[in-house]
Amino acid sequence: MYYHIGKKVRYFAVALCIIGVLASIGTGVYLYAEEKVDVVPALAICVGGSIVFWLVSWVTYCIGDTNVRIERLEDKLIPKPVYTQYLAGNNPLRGQCEICGKTTDLVNAKIEDKLGTRYRKLCRECYMTNNCKPAD
């Protein structure tokens, strides 16, 4: 649900603009027809509400677009670990432990507890303290 949130925010901005403009126009027409409000306030609600929702959707879209661009930059700038080299030979996998965050040689670990079975890349200390098993 929270992955790639920028795209969802951009879709929400478009939906917000469309629904807001339609709601503003509908409110203005309703007030003019049913509540017998003068033409000028009803027209001001139609036009003013549409402009407000249009501008709010710009800001919302901008936030989502910024998030999408940051995700693209992260994909380009942060190197992904190469697990194929680790699996091909017996070279130790070097990186950050997924529990303590220490950068060292890692071990593929299988953790079985009340949360279920999880697989993690752990340092030797965390491997020993969490009573892990070797990953298959």
Q: How far apart are CA 92 and CA 108, in angstroms?
A: 10
Question: CA angle 36-40-43, nearest 5°?
Answer: 90
Residue type, 56: V
* Residues 80-101, mean pLDDT to the nearest whole number: 66
pTM, to two decimals? 0.55
In the predicted model, what is the mean pLDDT of the chain? Answer: 85
As a whole number, mean pLDDT of residues 117-122 equals 82
Mean pLDDT, rounded, for 23-28: 96
Q: Take residue 10 and report the two structure tokens written for it.
A: 């951009």
Task: Read off the pLDDT of each residue in 24-51 and give the average, rounded to a whole number.
Answer: 93
Q: What are the extents of the domains in the chain?
A: 5-77, 83-134
Q: What's the rounded mean pLDDT across residues 66-79?
A: 85
User: What pLDDT is recorded for position 2?
Assistant: 74
Question: How sure is the predictor about 41, in pLDDT bands with cuts at 50, 70 and 90?
Answer: very high
The Cβ-side half-sphere exposure at 32, using a 13 Å CA radius, reads 15
Q: Percentage of the chain surpassing pLDDT 70?
A: 88
Predicted confidence band of residue 79 (pLDDT cuts 50, 70, 90): low
d(CA 45, CA 47): 6
CA-to-CA separations, 102 to 51, 75, 99, 126, 128, in angstroms, rounded:
52, 22, 8, 10, 15
Note whether 95 and 103 are within 8 A (CB): yes
